[in-house]
Amino acid sequence: MFQRRDVGGELAAIRDEHAPDAFVFDTERDFETLSPAVAENLAPIVDSFEPLSYPDEWVPTSAPEPLRRLASDEFTIGAPGDGGVAWTRQTVPPTVFVKPRLEGSPDGFVEFLIAEAFVEIGLGHPEQFLGFFGERYRELAEATPLDPAETYQLAAALFDAYVGLDARELFAAWEGTHGRLHAEWVDAGERLAPRVSGLPRDVAVGRTDFASAAELACSAVKHGLELPAPFAALDTSAYRDHGAAYAVRWAERTFEALADE
């Protein structure tokens, strides 16, 4: 299931700086959340496990099953929305997983995603959005008219933006030290920019729903792109300073304004 992946050059330097002990594995098959039985195949490879769990009261009764699994004491790795690269600190040392869905992608882009995982491990933020929102996740759910799956998607997006506020400063600093990875970061942002600028129109005509628009806009924060309203309010020092409380208040105000239109 897991094949050790060697990293070298700029990528190895990023690992040494942000996640010096981390392992990188190619996985035999795609996954959203690894089951405990599969995850425990890591036992002969890593030093130990430190499973996460969260209080049941943080999770609304209507929450989707993946969120319930994340909150439980069941040893799981990954979550829907993680994309082609996932990582965890539930193993010692931390591990990064490269999924088969990235086969055929340019090598530079894949290396940027791995480098991004190293940076996120080193930042020390929670592994998933539930650890970020905590008991405020219920407040977020109550603040939105979205269904449980869309609320999950929105919460994941808001957390992505929060992490992106810190990560982008590190990515930008690669220009003088890790030029190839910096170029991949710039290129990914340039390809994302037209989709972000068109979000207001896409939402207005029903081409994109609100949760999907939030996912796209929040992913642009790590690239320093200009965001349209109402997402521009997430690219602020106030969000960095106040975290989950700010995100919940932003959701309350945003949906109140949408209801008045």
Q: Return the H-helix or E-strand segment holding 148.
A: helix 148-172
pLDDT digits (tens, 9 = 90+) for 148-207: 999 999 999 999 999 999 999 999 999 989 999 999 999 999 999 999 999 988 888 889
The average pLDDT across 40-52 equals 89
What residues does each domain of the chain span? 2-260
CA atoms within 13 A on the CB side of 174: 25
On the question of pLDDT at 260 being above 80, the answer is no
The average pLDDT across 117-135 equals 96
Question: How far apart, in whole angstroms, are the C-alpha atoms of residue 161 and residue 77?
Answer: 21
CA atoms within 13 A on the CB side of 163: 24
What mean pLDDT value characterizes the chain? 93
The confidence score (pLDDT) of residue 163 equals 98
Express as a percent the part of the chain with pLDDT over 70: 100
CB atoms within 10 A of CB 32: 13
Q: How confident is the model at residue 73 (pLDDT cuts 50, 70, 90)?
A: confident
pLDDT digits (tens, 9 = 90+) for 79-117: 888 899 999 999 999 999 999 999 999 999 999 999 999
The average pLDDT across 121-132 equals 96
> Is the alpha carbon torsion for 125, 131, 134, 138 positive or negative?
positive
On the question of pLDDT at 11 being above 80, the answer is yes
- 82, 236, 54, 77: CA torsion to nearest 10: 20
Q: How confident is the model at residue 74 (pLDDT cuts 50, 70, 90)?
A: confident
On the question of pLDDT at 35 being above 70, the answer is yes
Predicted TM-score of the model (pTM): 0.95
pLDDT digits (tens, 9 = 90+) for 132-151: 999 999 999 999 999 999 99
Express as a percent the part of the chain with pLDDT over 90: 79
